[in-house]
Amino acid sequence: MTPVLEIKGLKTSVEGMLILKGVDLVVNTGEVHAIMGPNGSGKSTLAAVLAGREEYEVERGTVLYQGANLLEMEVDERARKGVFLAFQYPVELPGVSMMNFLKQAVNALREHRGQDPLSAAGLLRMAKEKAKLIGLDPRLKQRSVNEGFSGGEKKRNEIFQLAMLEPVLAVLDETDSGLDIDALRSVADGVNQLRTTSRAFVIITHYQRLLNYIVPDFVHVMVDGRIVRSGGKELALDLEEKGYDWVRYDAAA
Amino acid sequence: MVNTANVTTRPEDRFVAEFERFEALHTNGSSEHFPLLRQKALRQFSATGFPPRKSESWKYTNIGSILRRPYSAPDTGTVRASGLDGLGAYVAVFVNGHFDASQSTLDDLPEDITVASFTDQTQAGRVRAHLARYAAFEHEPFTALNTAFVHDGALVHLPAGIALSRPIHVIHAVTASYAALLQPRTLVISEDGAQAQIVQSTEVHTKMPVLINSVTEIRVGARAQLDHLMLQAGTPSTSNVANVSVYQETESKFYNGSFTFGGEVVRNNISILPDAEHCETLMHGLFVARGTSHVDNNTLMDHAKPNCFSSEYYKGILDEHATGVFNGKVLVRQDAQQTNAYQTNRSIVLTNTAHMYSKPALEIYADDVKCSHGATTGQLDKDGLFYLRARGIRADEARRLMLISFAGDIIEKVPAASLHRVLYREVERLLR
């Protein structure tokens, strides 16, 4: 079986500075992988490279998505083929209405899959259903994308879009940052509803607490641009207890 | 060998010669209402001439090459005006400057409201009483030139207390097989407490060069509420000088929206004078310029009396080799205490070959006022584009979506909701 995502020896730099120093990771369909690490370890850079941010230069290595070279694909092409990034800092788009945005995004995907565009009524029905599933305030659908949304609403909106776009691979970049415990729990509930055997998740987080609610199949610890340790869900608990210095020390040894 | 006599001819002299030809054609007609005014305006124009290249307010707009073309005021012509779909307005159509009753739909206007041609003899007294009262031509050569040629025009009179639910739409269509000089004139008089929306648009039905030099005079009566919209769309060889002069009386509310969607050189001179207390003024504008189009918005918000509010908001999108100018002045005179005046100009420049010159200015002589101004010119927000693309939306579509939203900010604030769709349609056509 072809893995959903296969990263080999990935080295990337930004403005001449090497950030990822050789990352290897294999994600199969239906799996949930958590990537943990201290600030500046390169976790978010990995998410950005997968989504196609141009300011990151790939120096070395390969990234295969469903067996094809992901790094050669345009940003929008990756999304249409089923790669989804939940942003750490969702962008406000004043004047771009949520419904128009969803229409464009959903129909771009449907076109790619050879499906007819969704009617306005069909889209509304779907949005209503998914908003309910995620617990997104339905009134937010009447607004401009992320404009004036609270931190929690923005994060929930990312998960709502995940639900609408039904990706093959979802990368969540610090979705838990800036959330209080209630918001965290409800965002996690949303993600759990979207876990299926035909979808893979890569969850990037600084803290273990999100993983109390979204229980991963695998945990990887990233330090200084490398994955220094991988294990099962219990690795997150060890980290919580011993702190990152523990793996840092380990990595140096 | 070039004919040296032609080379040295001032462009002004050509316009004066055209005036004489035009005058000879029209002196016998009944349209000859204003001989003294016209002669005076002509003398003024001839003496002052067009603004010199180096004058401050024309610094970024070179209209010299446009003015050097030989234009003729067009004869009567026949063309069907396209109008604006879905506006649901009372429509007055002028073709080549002449009122065309057959294309106008004014019959079901409420009885007291007048929308008429200047040539309507029953309105002669009213026109004579107000014409050139609000748009002074002494220091405005383009207004002087327009005034010299006045023979027909649109008069809108709104009696006290009426509230019109459908807009009034004045269309000026031009068709000619030669370079044409069209000089629309519009006079809007609203009495106390009247409420209405007035839309003006120009239509160019020829590929020949056209110079449109329009003057619109508006008096907003006490407690009246008037919305005025100006739509400019033209061929790449259409140039437009639009002069709008507004006079506001006590507690009146006035909205001006200027929308420019093409043209070779476009210059809007918009000047609003709230000459009494407790007036409110909104001055909005939007342009989309492509090719080598040049669009210059030159505005004056003249606060003369205390306790007034004004907000000016102009946006522009510049693509390809287009240039844009915003020259906005808010003047707060010494008497105008407690003025609240705001001014914002935002532009998006899409290419390295497009340029925007923005010069917002506050000139304040009163000491107890709240005023602010600001200008930003930049490219499309890269993070926004990335966000849209990360959701599968193609790069060109993402760009279009963001530009339409940028423009939508001005469109959504247009008080006449029936115009939103019309304006979006124009913007979408230009951004395709």
Mean pLDDT of chain B, nearest integer: 93
pTM above 0.95, yes or no: no
The answer to whether A105 contacts B393, with C-beta atoms less than 8 Å apart, is yes
Position B134 confidence tier, pLDDT thresholds 50, 70, 90: very high
Predicted pLDDT at B8: 61
Determine the average pLDDT of the residues in B254-273.
Answer: 97
Tell me the CA end-to-end span of chain A in Å, nearest whole number. 36
| CA-based nearest residue to B274, from B312, B232, B240 | B312
Chain B residues whose beta carbon lies within 8 Å of the beta carbon of residue A70: none
**Contact indicator for B150, B180 with CB cutoff of 8 Å:** no
**What percent of chain B has pLDDT above 90?**
85
Which of A78, A95, A112 has its CB closest to that of B405? A95
Q: Is A91 on the interface with B (CB under 8 A)?
A: yes
Tell me the pLDDT band of B4, cut-offs 50, 70 and 90: very low
Rounded Cα–Cα distance for residues A89 and B251 (Å): 46
A98-155 pLDDT, tens digit each: 999 999 999 999 999 999 999 999 999 999 999 998 888 888 888 999 999 998 899 9
* pLDDT at residue number B7: 53
Of B392, B404, B405, the CB nearest to A108: B392
Nearest CA in chain B to A85: B390
Given an 8 Å threshold on Cβ–Cβ distance, is A105 in contact with B386? no
Q: Are B390 and A79 inside 8 Å of each other by CB?
A: yes
- Low pLDDT (below 70) residues in chain A: 249-253
Q: What is the mean pLDDT of residues B268-279?
A: 98
- pLDDT tens for residues B155-169? 999 999 999 999 999
Q: Look at strands B90-95 and B154-158 and give their pairing.
A: unpaired
Instruction: Dump pLDDT digits (tens) for B199-224.
Output: 999 999 999 999 999 999 999 999 99
- Give the CB-side neighbour count of residue B410, counting CA atoms within 13 A: 32
Comparing CB atoms, the residue among A93, A108, A109 nearest residue B405 is: A93
> Which tens digits make up the pLDDT trace of B166-204?
999 999 999 999 999 999 999 999 999 999 999 999 999
Is A50 in CB contact (< 8 Å) with chain B?
no
Supply the pLDDT for residue B20.
87
What pLDDT shows up at residue A251?
Answer: 59
Burial class (CB in 10 A: 0-12, 13-18, 19+), A167: buried
A23 shares contact with chain B (CB less than 8 Å): no
From the list B390, B401, B404, the residue facing A75 with the nearest CB is B390
pLDDT score of B109 more than 90 = yes
Contact (CB, 8 A) for B230 and B257: yes
3-state secondary structure of B90: strand
* Residue A96 near chain B (CB below 8 Å): yes
- Over residues B94-112, the mean pLDDT reads 94
Rounded to 5 degrees, φ, ψ at A120 are -60, -40
Say what the pLDDT of residue A183 is: 85
Residue A112 and residue B402: Cβ atoms within 8 Å?
no
In chain B, what residues touch A145 (CB-CB under 8 Å)? 387
Query: What pLDDT, on a 0 to 100 scale, did the predictor assign at position B2?
Result: 44
List the structure tokens of B248.
């506001």
Across the range B291-316, mean pLDDT stands at: 97
* CB-CB neighbors (< 8 A) of B406 in chain A: 95
Q: What percent of chain B has pLDDT over 70?
A: 97
Residue of B391, B409, B412, B420 to mutate, testing the A interface (most A Cβ within 10 Å of its Cβ): B391
Least confident of A177-186, B45-54, B103-112, B114-123: A177-186
Taking a C-beta distance cutoff of 8 angstroms, is the pair A83, A169 a contact? yes
Q: What is the pLDDT of residue B395?
A: 95
Q: Which residues of B touch A101 (CB under 8 A)?
A: 388, 391, 401
Residue with tokens 């005021």: B73
User: What are the structural domains of chain A?
Assistant: 3-252 (3.40.50.300)
Chain A residues with CB under 8 Å of B401 CB are: 96, 100-101, 104
pLDDT of residue B25: 78
Contact B118, B94 (CB under 8 A): no
